[in-house]
A = this chain, B = another copy of it.
Amino acid sequence: MGIQTQSQEGLQVEPGQEIVNDCSIQVATVNGSGSQSSNNVLMRAIFQMGVPISGKNLFPSNIAGLPTWFTIRASQAGYIGRKEEIDILVAMNSATAKEDVETLTPGRVVIYDEKLKLSEIRDDLIYYPVPFSGIAGEVIKDIRLRKLIANIVYVGSTAELLGIEMAEVEAAIAKWFKGKQKAIDLNVKAAHLGAQYVRDHLTKSDPFQIQRRNKTEGKIIIDGNAACALGSVFAGATVLAWYPITPASSVSESFADYMKRYRIDPDTGKATFAVVQAEDELAALGMAIGAGWAGARSMTSTSGPGISLMSEFVGLAYFTEIPVVIFDVQRTGPSTGLPTRTSQGDINSLYYLSHGDTQYVVLFPSSMDECFEFSVMAFDLAERLQQPIFVATDLDLGMNNWMSDPFDYPDKPIDRGKVLSAEDLERVGEFARYKDVDGDGIPYRTLPGTDHPLAAYFVRGSGHNEYARYTERPEDYVNLMDRLARKMETAKTLIPQPIAEYQEGAEIGIVCYGSTDVPMVECREQLRTEHGIEINYMRIRALPFTSHLKEFFGRCKRVYSVEQNRDGQMGDLIRLEVGDDQGKVVKVLHYKGLPLDARFVTDQIMTHEKRKDK
């Protein structure tokens, strides 16, 4: 027992050996077939057994009828990254069943619908045929519903095979169908029949087990988009203008849902927010900027194509210094690319977005609590720095299911930044919108509607002096541009600093950001246990860089920069930052559209390490 060592050669286990709480289960279905509920129930049941899980949905860019794979990874070691090898395949989709089975490595398990006759394909797997639809038929006559029910049957069978307690399955069902008793009863019944069938007709011959642990006590399961939405709610965001796009839509949709629940003023019954579905991304950001100018905490959410369309408006906000928060849930580009696949391909776009000299603060959460925390922080930063702030996540973080500790309530009060009220103006007696009064590059602003003769100023995307007047004078322009650069220096003191973990005597470093961090615990464990290599680890949490990066490089001989794009975009930004240490950077690039897995990185690093040794 214990952590299995994976390899392409297949599963190495002595006869009778058990593999406990360490397996990945892949359910192959078609989208629109309602498998979402059963997948979720299975995942939750394991979670409720006290075993850490993660759930990843690999879905096509269409609405119904195409292959979809939902992968649940159970790992008491707490590894929640993707794992290349599938241990248990639940084959529900005849269209892909053959290929699904063929890609398994020897010794793995296949639970499938009898009718598919998969056992004929190869003989080095463990097969469990179950007449899912047949069993479903016993529960319900309606053909359409039967399909749905068949899904929950495989949950029962799988649970039985893995030793997942039916009580937890029932609890998970009850949670999913919140109070819909009829649905609950139907599903519970079906699940039990699925389990019953296994008990009656099959004998377990595989090593995989789920056993109760206490590793999920008090944890939550959530997706990154909901976490960002929740963060925005508690950041006190008031205006959301958005345009639908996969995989970002659910940031805005969750936000809207939360707002309806939590942000109706009890005193007046009126909304303390506005959510507008704009006609496109240009308008969405334009509205958010307009609202930011007016003094509301405003946001938009989008993905790659939307970022490109927002380029012009973002430059306006940068140059006129208007706060706004932009969520970029990255998907695989360029262009429409693979809308339902994950990537970290927008780094250059975000950092340099829009023509002319521009640079932005970009936050990179890599966990659910950071999605929440950074979302809260983003609004403070936007108003403090009077700049657009990007929160960059990706489809993997945003749309998959993650286990997390509950989020902490914001410990700091809301920071509205440098805003002068009518009273302030009366007191100070002067106002220059774009003057660097405090030497931090950040000027003071007033809000439209401020009832004071000094309050009004004129925002323009064209040249402006400290008094916001139109100017074409070289010195005014240089003055403005230099201050904007100074502001980025101030930003460095406010943004989340990178997290560094130094190992005794380690010479090799790894730098990551965002979702790339997820499999890195496992990866470093692999490097340690399999190759005896200790790693210094740095997780970048924001752009621009701060001194810590150089320091990290100072303590490493070689630094592997791991990210999920073709060009190593962050790697290049790092090289620029570390100057003479740039030669230490070795890029490890994963750009298949699938979430990164530890094994890939370990292999890449080892190949390079071996090459170096020769």
Residues of A bordering B, CB below 8 Å: 60-61, 304-305, 307-309, 311-312, 315-316, 318-320, 332-341, 343, 345-346, 348-349, 352, 354-359, 460-463, 472, 474-475, 477-478, 481-482, 485, 565-567, 569, 572, 575-576, 579-580, 582-583, 591-594
Contacts and interface: CB of A to CB of B under 8 A. Distances in A.
Contact of A356 (B304, B357, B359, B592): B304
Given A309-B311, A478-B591, A575-B576, A346 B335 contact: no
Given A315-B335, A579-B583, A474 B356 contact: no
Given A312-B309, A355-B308, A569-B357, A338 B472 contact: yes
B319 A334 contact: yes
Q: Count identical subunits in the complex.
A: 2
9 contacts: A304-B356, A309-B312, A333-B354, A341-B477, A349-B356, A357-B566, A477-B592, A575-B575, A582-B582
A479 to B, nearest CB: 11
A196 to B, nearest CB: 38
Contacts of A582: 575, 579-580, 582
Nearest to A341: B472
A37 to B, nearest CB: 24
A95 to B, nearest CB: 14
Given A583-B580, A593-B477, A354 B340 contact: no
A463 B591 CA distance: 13
Contacts of A308: 311-312, 315, 354-355
Contact of A333 (B60, B315, B349): B315
A396 to B, nearest CB: 14
Nearest to A460: B336
Among A318, A354, A356: residue with most chain B CB under 10 A: A356
B357 A345 contact: yes
Among A318, A319, A339, A355: residue with most chain B CB under 10 A: A355
A346 B356 contact: yes
Contact of A312 (B305, B320, B346): B305
Among A319, A354, A569, A582: residue with most chain B CB under 10 A: A354
B583 A338 contact: no
A357 B565 contact: yes
Contacts of A343: 356
A307 B355 CA distance: 7
Nearest to A66: B472
B318 A355 contact: no
A99 to B, nearest CB: 11
A498 B120 CA distance: 63
Contacts of A348: 348, 352
Contact of A349 (B61, B335, B352, B575): B352
